[in-house]
């Protein structure tokens, strides 16, 4: 068990800097998920922690050890790859035990470790099979088993569930979380799937173009996104954004947006927003905080483009002015493309961002 500290870590390929100086502190025993769109540098960051990519600058420590220039094998990390990366010519038992065999762990001890790992991961009856005779989920469990017996300071997961089908992914998600609860080892997990990030992490680090946009626990990310990028990335379906302007009329503050989104800001938000009166801003509202049942004045008129009945509720995908807008309405609602609908907001759930730099106004 160990904490990981990245101070000013950079990565460049030639003259292209993919990771500008990054500072990140990962606590001992923490489950941290790095999430972001493809090409945001999350896998590169993970591979730098593993030592598979050399860092171009900065300093990295695992526990009390400076590992900046240490080769991968000496960092005492265990890594699980998206593609499983099993040794195809070895049985499951040998796959899990190969590292121990190389390190010269006594046979009896190694056999016990393999059996324990196999029991935890429900692999006992497959120990003598080759990876080629296993399903995707079982192969990934073998890869995790290989990581467990390493007894590492840090577990690194590089999109381990991306190759699995949806149902298996949910099961494995739970298994990995239980594994973390059982082992209490520091885990760093990379994914592009924000649902995975939200459900598994103690703390989610949202990356864009190598920059940490926000690092916080899942609920904070969801309820108090630091900027437009995080607000749009976290949550599915993603947050609706309406560009508009804050205007002060007497004591009251109004948001004036497109498609009839013109309403007074609730009194408890006025103080925070008042300094930005007269400025362009972006209002955000999550689809799950909208409805079509009438009520207070805050609403927007959308032209329905498509309708997605999901079961518990139905999504109306539409256009409000120039912006896409998704409204969540009761299950069984019927609408035809081209129809116009009034979508109302829950005023307590509004987010406001500065139009200039996208930062949240709080």
Partner 1 sequence: MSVRDLSGSRRWLAFVCCCAWFLFTIFPLYWVAITSLKTPPDVVGGPTYLPFVDFQPTLKAWRELLSGTRGEFFSNFWSSSIVALSSSVFATLLGAMAAYALVRFPFRVRLLSGVAFVVVAMGGFLLGRDVMGIAPASASILAFCVALALSVFINRFPLPGKVMGNDDIVFWFVSQRLFPPIVVAFALFLLYTEMGKLGFKMTDTYLGLTLAYVAFSLPIVVWLMRDFISALPLEVEEAAMVDNVPHWRIFFGIVLPMCRPGLIATFVITLAFTWNEFLFALFLTNSEWQTLPVLIAGQNSQRGDEWWAISAAALVAIIPMVVVAALLGRLMKSGLLSGAVK
Q: Which of 6, 34, 79, 323 binds partner 1 (CB under 8 A)?
A: 79
Q: Which of 31, 84, 222, 352 binds partner 1 (CB under 8 A)?
A: 84
Helix, strand, coil shares of the chain as percentages rounded to 5?
Answer: 30, 35, 35
Which residues, in sequence order, are bridge partners of residue 153? none
Q: Which of 40, 46, 48, 50 binds partner 1 (CB under 8 A)?
A: 50
256/279 Cα distance (integer angstroms)? 11
What are the two backbone dihedrals, phi and then psi, of residue 272, each rounded to the nearest 5 degrees? -70, -40
Q: Does residue 37 touch partner 1 according to CB under 8 A?
A: no
Query: Of the ranges 69-77, 280-288, 300-308, 309-317, which one interacts with partner 1 (CB under 8 A)?
Result: 69-77
Let me know the angle formed at the C-alpha of 115 by 109 and 118, rounded to the nearest 5 degrees: 140
- Please state, as a whole number, how many other Cβ atoms lie within 10 Å of the Cβ of residue 227: 18
Q: Does residue 134 touch partner 1 according to CB under 8 A?
A: yes
Q: Which of 99, 237, 258, 266 binds partner 1 (CB under 8 A)?
A: 99
Q: Does residue 51 touch partner 1 according to CB under 8 A?
A: yes
**Which residue, 56 or 163, has its beta carbon nearer to partner 1?**
163
Query: Of the ranges 130-138, 195-203, 274-282, 348-356, which one interacts with partner 1 (CB under 8 A)?
Result: 130-138
In whole angstroms, how large is the CA radius of gyration of the chain? 25
- Please state, as a whole number, how many other Cβ atoms lie within 10 Å of the Cβ of residue 235: 19
Query: Of the ranges 142-150, 270-278, 298-306, 310-318, which one interacts with partner 1 (CB under 8 A)?
Result: 142-150
Q: Which of 25, 54, 71, 171 binds partner 1 (CB under 8 A)?
A: 71
Query: Of the ranges 9-17, 125-133, 261-269, 321-329, which one interacts with partner 1 (CB under 8 A)?
Result: 125-133
**What's the length of the chain?**
362
* Placement of tokens 């907001």 in the chain: 345
Which residues, in sequence order, are bridge partners of residue 65? 62
Q: Does residue 91 touch partner 1 according to CB under 8 A?
A: no
């Amino acid at each position: 068990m160990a904490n990981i500290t990245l101070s000013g870590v950079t990565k460049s390929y030639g003259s292209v800097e993919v990771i500008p100086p990054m500072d990140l502190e990962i606590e001992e025993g923490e489950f941290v998920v790095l999430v972001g769109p493809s090409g945001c540098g999350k896998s590169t960051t993970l591979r730098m922690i593993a030592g598979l990519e050399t860092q171009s600058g900065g300093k990295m420590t695992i526990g009390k050890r400076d590992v900046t220039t240490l080769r991968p094998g000496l960092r005492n990390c265990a890594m699980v790859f998206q593609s499983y990366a099993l040794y195809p010519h070895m049985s499951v038992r040998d796959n899990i035990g190969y590292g121990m065999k190389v390190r010269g762990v006594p046979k009896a001890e190694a056999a016990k470790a393999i059996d324990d790992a196999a029991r935890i991961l429900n692999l006992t009856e497959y120990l003598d099979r080759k990876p080629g005779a296993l399903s995707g989920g079982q192969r990934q469990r073998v890869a995790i088993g290989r990581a467990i017996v390493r007894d590492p300071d840090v577990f690194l997961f590089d999109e381990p569930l991306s190759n699995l089908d949806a149902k298996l992914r949910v099961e494995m998600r739970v298994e990995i979380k239980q594994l973390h609860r059982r082992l209490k080892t520091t885990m760093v997990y990379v994914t592009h799937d924000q649902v995975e990030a939200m459900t598994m992490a103690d703390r989610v680090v949202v990356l864009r173009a190598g920059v940490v946009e926000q690092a916080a626990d899942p609920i904070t990310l969801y309820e108090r996104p630091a900027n437009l990028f995080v607000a749009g990335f976290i949550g599915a379906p993603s947050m609706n954004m309406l560009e508009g302007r804050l205007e002060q009329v007497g004591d009251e503050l109004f948001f004036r947006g497109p498609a009839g989104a013109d309403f007074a800001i609730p009194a408890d938000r006025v103080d925070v927003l008042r300094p930005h009166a007269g400025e362009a801003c972006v209002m955000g509202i999550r689809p799950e905080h909208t409805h079509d049942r009438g009520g207070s004045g805050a609403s927007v008129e959308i032209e329905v483009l498509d309708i997605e009945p999901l079961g518990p509720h139905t999504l109306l995908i539409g256009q409000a002015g120039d912006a896409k807008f998704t409204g969540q309405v009761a299950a069984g609602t019927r609408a035809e493309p081209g129809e116009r609908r009034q979508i109302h907001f829950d005023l307590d759930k509004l987010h406001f961002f500065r139009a200039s730099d996208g930062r949240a106004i709080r």
